[in-house]
Structure 1
Amino acid sequence: MPLLTGNLGVAAWLAGLLVFLPKAWDVIFNPIVGGLSDRRGASSRRPFLLRGGLTLAVLFALLFFGPSSTTAGAIWVVVLYFACASVYAFFQVPYMALPAELTSSYDERTRLMTWRVAVLALAILVSGGLAPVVRDAVGYWGVGLFVSALIAVGTLASWRGTAGVTPRVTTSSVGSLREQLRVVSANRAFRNLVCTWIIQALATGAMLAGVDYVARWVLEDDGAATILFVCFVGPALLVTPLWQRFAERRDKRQGYVVASLVFAVGALTTWWASNVGMAATALTLAVVGVGYAGIQLFPMAMLPDVAADDATASGENRIGTFTGVWTAGETLGLALGPFLYAAVLALGGYAPSTGGGATQTGQAITAVALGFTVMPAVLVVVSLLFLRRYR
């Protein structure tokens, strides 16, 4: 979004739409990929990782090498982003299916996801934190190459790291994709869990989209974006193992509720802190980061429980279909988050620019802060209505 609104001169509402549409496509496409990987069987998921991830690395780099004019640049972004979203499905869906197949242990799945969330936090920290630095130093094309390299490293690591591991669930699914989706949607535990996940992805997507805007217009310090990213994501590297212990001693669902409340309280207090200064904002965002670690770990550890339980009960491996619907929901939420944030900016009268030199009204700056703090907090609280029905 900063590329579109601050460099190509695209209006905030249109920038949000352009970011949203390619991701919305995944809502349809991800379950198709999940059904395809299920029919191939558990042992075939690793080739999907390699091909999907490396192709994504190339396309993501190209995304930032488009024309500089507003219309042509916007078209380039949306076309390449559609391609990225489609290719990413072939990595993400099999990747998310693997934990349910690598172990049959309820607690071991939590430990698997603990490592995943820690690496995820580190990757977001490095990519999101350094991207503004790279952009300011060499331009957006440098961001494309930088993140593309990270994607390639992550792809090769996950592909190589799962070599030689025998899947615990090997029976392929039967029936059409439509039949598989019908069965998955009828699973009450999954339905409540995925609804919670989608709404919280909205909140996370809005906050991640707003970091650059808050740094520039609320804190009036472009360099603060990196600090905010560190405060938001960094705590996950420290507290994720503590959330894991909470899950093993008590319960994943209970931990998920506590983490969600920590996230919401932290986001609300950030509204106050952003008017105080950088130090206070960093502190409250660190609280958000503690909650963020939990709302990433617990649902990802609960998903393979639901999918593996279904495989045990039905005798069929529908794990790919479960994760296809799950990643479709996650993608939709993470795409709608920036779209909602862009809508708040548009309502506040945010002014786009072609060189980052626009000035904003007090109302627009208020919208920048509200979309980053109050809106995500409200979304997370609403999501608990679904989580309380999860069993």
Structure 2
Amino acid sequence: MDLRYTAAEQAFREEVRAFVRENLPADIREKVLGHQRVEKDDYVRWHRILNARGWGAPTWPKAHGGTGWNALERLIFEIETLSAGAPRLLPFGLTMIGPVLMKYASPSMQERFLPRIPDVDDFWCQGYSEPGSGSDLASLKTRAVRKGDKYIVNGQKTWTTMAHFADWIFCLVRTDSEAKPQEGISMLLIDMKSPGVTVRPIVTLDGGHDVNETWFEDVEVPVENLVGEENRGWTYAKYLLGHERTSIAGIGHCYRELRQLKHYAAQGADGKGGRMLDDARMRDKIARLEMDLMALEMLLLRVATAGGGRGPGPEASIVKIRGSELQQDIAMLQQEVAGPHGWPYAPQWLEAGAHAPVSGPQWAPPAASTYFDMRKTSIYGGATEVQKNIIAKMIIGF
């Protein structure tokens, strides 16, 4: 297997680098590299800059307004944009509900929703988990009862990331309480401005509230907002989760944070008059992370190119586990490099322009936020324990 980039691939890499260097707004770059809070407007601005270049939907086929890139081009694009300090592209529309609509939705639904995703004319969020139905998603209780040309939805969703920004939510609901759990679920697209929808923030360890609980009280949803067929939502949910798990690997994020880690280690004092990077044990830890990251990149490329058009398979669970672990390991080592300067932490230090009122390097206190935030990667998109069960059943055959 030849792991070297061809001349055309290297030229594409340079094209992406040059575009990001010239077009990524400096204030967004500074927030991302400084581990400060990225707001809705920042995401929308960057999406629209990319879409104006024709790169607004990197993973989509040209038939639906995407780039039509192959797996390697998509990987290069992700690594180069995120490494340069660009925010992660919003996954809810692009890599979650978008592929589901392309595969299962009616032409009229595709025409209505897909063109609005790359420019973030519609900001999406996900309505899957519930207080008693997370890893056991099939036990969800949010109900949708059909009355004429509408569904009446009642229930609660939790961990609805960025629901406070969202215009629409793709939501799993129970439409048949008599059927087997997986066979009585449907997928609805719900306007977040509908009467009866309430979003309440959940404050996380880093002091942010990107995740929320969302309540539905007699919310009316037009039948035309049903994705595919009634009671087939479990099939669509599994297809969506395969795409989500592959994207959670966060390869570009890992490369950026590894570079930041090396920079921190070159600056950080080891308490003995030298640099952290001069310590052989620290260099060993960084080298091991870099080797693991290279292995993940090769695995991700293999998974992305092996599908034969069928979409992500159970291999996505392996990618999800390793990507989650690596993001956590890098954040943990950043905290180790920060040492005692990384522990005094307050959420306001994540705001743009804020300066941490402590001694030590400016980057150290926000590193704690990254460490806290990365703890959730082994839960969302399917907990690690669930992914191991999928691997055992679908790949190993247990």
Decide: shared fold, TM above 0.5.
no
Compute the TM-score of the two structures, normalised by the length of structure 1. Answer: 0.33
- More strand as a share of residues: 2
* Bigger helix share: 1
Q: Which has the larger radius of gyration?
A: 2
Q: TM-score, normalised by structure 2?
A: 0.33
Q: Which has the higher contact order (CA 8 A, sep 6+)?
A: 1
